[in-house]
């Protein structure tokens, strides 16, 4: 059995202990000590890290009455000096005690009970048994901070399971004796095996950063103490960059961002209209060019439009092709030289060509692939230099069939 120093004194971070047994855990050397200040992961609070002699402590795990220290290298038998990482411990004490205060505050302001707790590496979450809204969350946050700033003493006591139940405290599952109760004086009492500060003031500040609906209740994400500072710094950094990117003072930031978004939607709508008109004009110009002084194209003598563009997207090529084949009986063989070569082939309804196989033959010459169905096919290849030749061969094939 390992005596857990942190239960009596969570501020004692250096200690000497005797190695009681040496084991292996998932391929790592592991020791059990007669006493330890290292907190073993449990009840939502992660383990402490630090050193035992020369070895780094990678994980601390409960194994019945024993505490396993999983190490990066073996330590010799005999006595060993332990040193718990102080920053991580203080962080966990701030977050965990802040959780007690916030959970109780949610009971007070919304009758919402905490049913799960997870102390994560960035934010801590509690899951409440009912939905709470933004206003209730702000009220609970305010209440938790009042209690924090009142510097109420935090006390730990040990009760029998019967005593705990008599006082309305349900002991953790499987615990029948020595129920450890953590109390923030006059505010909150609950069974807990975690590390807690001497007074509520050490929590510093409690900030709720997100609310989301979760399993019929609410998942509340929050940060306490130094993490709250880090969260503010991160958000300030983002806001400063937005202020500079949008050239708007803080107070106008939201309105400016909304206007930029609205303007973009309007610009896109206008651009789409202009593009459609441009494609329509281009289609008419190409058809007029293909006709020259000849008669208007008919199903028996359709127009053949062959054209290559620079930098057009496959979407725009397709838009042009569909307009061409709709305006007059027509076979359209279109290409674009962009990041690679794009081809779009199309014909009007009722014309006899096998458009997909015309296209496949052309893109094969360009070292690429493509396909399609019925009267429209598209594809692309890497050989920009062979675009004109591929179009000319496809045009020859169309003329030969006509």
Are 203 and 223 within 8 A, CB to CB?
A: no
The H-or-E segment that residue 326 falls in is helix 314-327
Least Å distance between CB 179 and Zn ion?
13
194 touching Zn ion, by CB under 5 A: yes
Residue closer to Zn ion (CB basis): 51 or 199 = 199
Residue closer to Zn ion (CB basis): 180 or 323 = 180
Q: From the CA atom positions of the chain, what is the Rg in Å? A: 36
Residue closer to Zn ion (CB basis): 98 or 372 = 98
Two structure tokens written together for 131: 């939905």
Residue closer to Zn ion (CB basis): 96 or 323 = 96
Q: Which residue is nearest to Zn ion (CB)?
A: 192
Q: Which long-range contacts (CB under 8 A, 24 or more apart) does 177-185 make?
A: 180/7, 180/156, 181/156, 181/157, 182/100, 182/154, 182/155, 182/156, 183/154, 183/155, 183/156, 183/157, 184/97, 184/100, 184/101, 184/104, 184/147, 184/152, 184/154, 185/152, 185/153, 185/154, 185/155
Residue closer to Zn ion (CB basis): 194 or 197 = 194
Least Å distance between CB 167 and Zn ion?
17
Least Å distance between CB 248 and Zn ion?
44
Query: What is the rounded CA–CA span in Å between residue 111 and residue 130?
Result: 9
Range in contact with Zn ion (rule: CB under 5 A) among 75-83, 152-160, 191-199, 267-275: 191-199
Residue closer to Zn ion (CB basis): 10 or 194 = 194
Site for Zn ion in 85-114 (CB under 5 A): none
Closest CA to 140 of 168, 102, 170, 112: 102
Residue burial 316-329, b: 16+ Cβ < 10 Å; e: rest: bbbbbbbbbbebbb
Least Å distance between CB 146 and Zn ion?
20
Which positions from 133 to 172 touch Zn ion by CB under 5 A, shown as an x/- string? ----------------------------------------
Residue closer to Zn ion (CB basis): 194 or 356 = 194
181 touching Zn ion, by CB under 5 A: no
Size of the site for Zn ion (CB under 5 A): 2
The H-or-E segment that residue 218 falls in is strand 217-224
Binding residue for Zn ion, selected from 55, 119, 147, 192, defined by CB under 5 A: 192
Residue burial 190-221, b: 16+ Cβ < 10 Å; e: rest: bbbbbbbbebbebbbbbbbbebeeeeebbbbb
Closest CA to 82 of 148, 118, 123, 33: 33
Range in contact with Zn ion (rule: CB under 5 A) among 102-110, 194-202, 310-318, 348-356: 194-202
Residue closer to Zn ion (CB basis): 102 or 391 = 102
Residue closer to Zn ion (CB basis): 153 or 216 = 153
Residue closer to Zn ion (CB basis): 189 or 227 = 189
Site for Zn ion in 348-367 (CB under 5 A): none
314 touching Zn ion, by CB under 5 A: no
Two structure tokens written together for 214: 């979760």
Least Å distance between CB 43 and Zn ion?
6
Two structure tokens written together for 392: 């000319």
Closest CA to 153 of 185, 186, 180: 185
Range in contact with Zn ion (rule: CB under 5 A) among 103-111, 131-139, 192-200, 313-321: 192-200
Least Å distance between CB 145 and Zn ion?
19
Least Å distance between CB 191 and Zn ion?
8
Least Å distance between CB 193 and Zn ion?
7
Edge to edge, the sheet with strand 124-128 lists 114-119, 124-128, 217-224, 206-214
Binding site for Zn ion (CB under 5 A): 192, 194
């Amino acid at each position: 059995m390992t005596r857990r120093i942190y239960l009596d004194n969570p501020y004692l971070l250096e200690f000497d202990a005797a190695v009681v047994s040496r084991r292996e855990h998932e391929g790592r050397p592991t020791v059990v000590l007669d006493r330890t200040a290292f907190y073993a992961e449990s009840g939502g609070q992660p383990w402490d890290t630090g050193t035992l002699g020369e070895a780094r402590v990678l994980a601390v795990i409960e194994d019945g009455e024993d505490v396993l220290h999983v190490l990066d290298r073996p330590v010799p038998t005999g006595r060993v000096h332990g040193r718990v990482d102080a920053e991580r411990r203080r962080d966990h004490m701030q977050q965990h005690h802040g959780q007690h205060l916030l959970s109780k505050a949610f009971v007070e302001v919304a009758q919402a009970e905490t049913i799960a707790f997870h102390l994560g590496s960035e934010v801590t979450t509690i899951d409440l048994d009912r939905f709470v809204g933004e206003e209730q969350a702000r009220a609970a946050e305010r209440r938790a901070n009042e209690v924090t700033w009142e510097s109420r003493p935090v006390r730990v006591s040990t009760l029998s399971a019967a005593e705990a139940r008599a006082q309305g405290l349900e002991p953790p599952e499987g615990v029948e004796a020595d129920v450890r109760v953590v109390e923030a004086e006059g505010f909150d009492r609950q069974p807990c095996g975690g590390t807690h500060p001497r007074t509520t003031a050490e929590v510093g500040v409690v900030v709720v950063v997100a609310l989301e609906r979760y399993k019929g209740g609410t998942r509340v994400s929050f940060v306490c103490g130094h993490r709250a500072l880090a969260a503010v710094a991160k958000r300030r950094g983002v806001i400063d960059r937005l202020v500079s990117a949008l050239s708007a003072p803080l107070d106008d930031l939201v309105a400016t961002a909304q206007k930029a978004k609205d303007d973009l939607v309007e610009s896109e709508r206008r651009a789409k209209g202009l593009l459609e008109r441009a494609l329509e004009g281009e289609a008419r110009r190409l058809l007029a060019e293909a006709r020259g002084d000849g008669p208007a194209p008919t199903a028996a003598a359709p127009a053949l439009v062959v054209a290559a563009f620079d930098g057009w997207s496959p979407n725009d090529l397709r838009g042009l092709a569909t307009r061409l084949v709709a305006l007059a009986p027509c076979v359209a063989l279109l290409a674009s030289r962009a990041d690679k070569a794009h081809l779009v082939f199309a014909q009007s309804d009722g014309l006899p060509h096998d458009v997909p196989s015309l296209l496949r033959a052309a893109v094969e010459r360009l070292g690429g692939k493509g396909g399609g169905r019925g009267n429209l096919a598209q594809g692309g290849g890497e050989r920009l230099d062979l675009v004109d030749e591929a179009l000319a061969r496809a045009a020859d094939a169309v003329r030969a069939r006509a």
